[in-house]
Amino acid sequence: MLLGVCMSLYYFHSFNFTNSILFFIAMLLFNMAVDMMDNYNDYNHAIDTQGYKRKTNIIGREHISPRLVLGLLVSFSVIAALIGLYLVSQVGLPLLWMGIFCFAMGILYSSGPFPMNGLPVGELVSGFTMGFMIMLISVYINIYPNFAWTWINLGKIWMVALPCELWISNLMLANNICDAQEDEDNHRHTIIHFIGQRGGLIAFVIKNVLAFLMIITAVLLHLAPWTMLLTLVIIPFVVKQTKKLIHQQVKLKTFPCAVKILLVGSLVQVVTYAIGI
């Protein structure tokens, strides 16, 4: 979202403070709702009731009321939707269609007969929705009504968003790598079911490399200031965290490596972009 604000300022020379604040609140509320929904559905649909349901899932582990979780996730979703509809009234129907898509992906991520977090498309969906669509909405609401719906414009935004998209995708990939046996026990066929843990680790490395290559490309194409190249200083950190995951795939010990890469990578990218502005 902040990367979208930076690109709106630097490349499109426009910024709308009110729209950005409202979108940030709505986005944050719905993101929390999706996380709650994920845990809620996994808790209710768990086949391994003794292990996963009671000891792993946070609802069972911390003895949280499922009704409380359901009430919170519905409340957060409704508030986010109302804020979104207000923004639609300010910037037009394209935001409605983008919002519907994001809400649909958030709900289908862990709901329905075939939730996406248990399918081999989970990484693609989460990365695209959170990495690209959120940035696209952020740019759109900041430069409306001067936003041009062209493939060239969409491609430019996608290039700047791609590092975050890849790191978000890697977050879920690392989760699935570490949960490989647990997912099999609960009949969840993630991408790891098809390519194996080794294939998942190779994909994890490739996407990290691509993320840094896209940062260089965005600067070379003048979509971002040269200061964003300073993001490359975190390469040793990313290599170190990646090696830890390759050495050991244990949820509590090495899944946080992917969290750290996403947090540090996206934060440094935004800060170095903002410094350039």
Q: What six digits make up the tokens of 91?
A: 């910037």
Q: From CA 34, how far away is CA 41, in angstroms rounded?
A: 10
Cβ contact 90:19 at 8 Å: yes
Lowest mean pLDDT, pick from 5-19, 172-186, 243-257: 172-186
Model pLDDT for residues 188-233, shown as the tens digit of each residue: 788 898 998 899 999 999 999 999 999 999 999 999 999 999 999 9
Q: From CA 200, how far away is CA 206, in angstroms rounded?
A: 10
Cβ contact 124:169 at 8 Å: yes
Q: From CA 238, how far away is CA 123, in angstroms rounded?
A: 19
**For position 48, what pLDDT does the model report?**
62
Q: Residue 99: left (phi > 0), alpha (psi -120 to 50), or beta?
A: alpha
CB-count burial class (<10 Å; 0-12, 13-18, 19+) for 110: buried
Mean of the per-residue pLDDT values of the chain = 91
Q: From CA 92, how far away is CA 144, in angstroms rounded?
A: 9
Cβ contact 98:132 at 8 Å: no
Residue type, 193: H
Q: How many CA atoms lie within 13 A of 265 on its CB side?
A: 33
**For position 116, what pLDDT does the model report?**
84
Question: pTM for the complete prediction?
Answer: 0.88
Cβ contact 160:224 at 8 Å: yes
Place of tokens 């934060």: 267
Model pLDDT for residues 95-132, shown as the tens digit of each residue: 999 999 999 998 888 777 788 888 888 899 999 999 99
**For position 208, what pLDDT does the model report?**
97
Q: Which residues are within 8 A (CB) of 208 and not within 5 positions of it... i.e. 6 or more apart?
A: 166, 167, 170, 238, 242, 261
Q: From CA 243, how far away is CA 162, in angstroms rounded?
A: 22
pLDDT at 47 over 70: no
Q: How confident is the model at residue 185 (pLDDT cuts 50, 70, 90)?
A: confident
pLDDT at 51 over 70: no
Give the helix, strand, coil percentages of the chain, each rounded to 5: 85, 0, 15
The residue among 81 and 37 whose pLDDT is bigger is 81
Cβ contact 27:135 at 8 Å: no
Lowest mean pLDDT, pick from 37-41, 64-68, 184-188: 184-188
Q: From CA 144, how far away is CA 20, in angstroms rounded?
A: 12
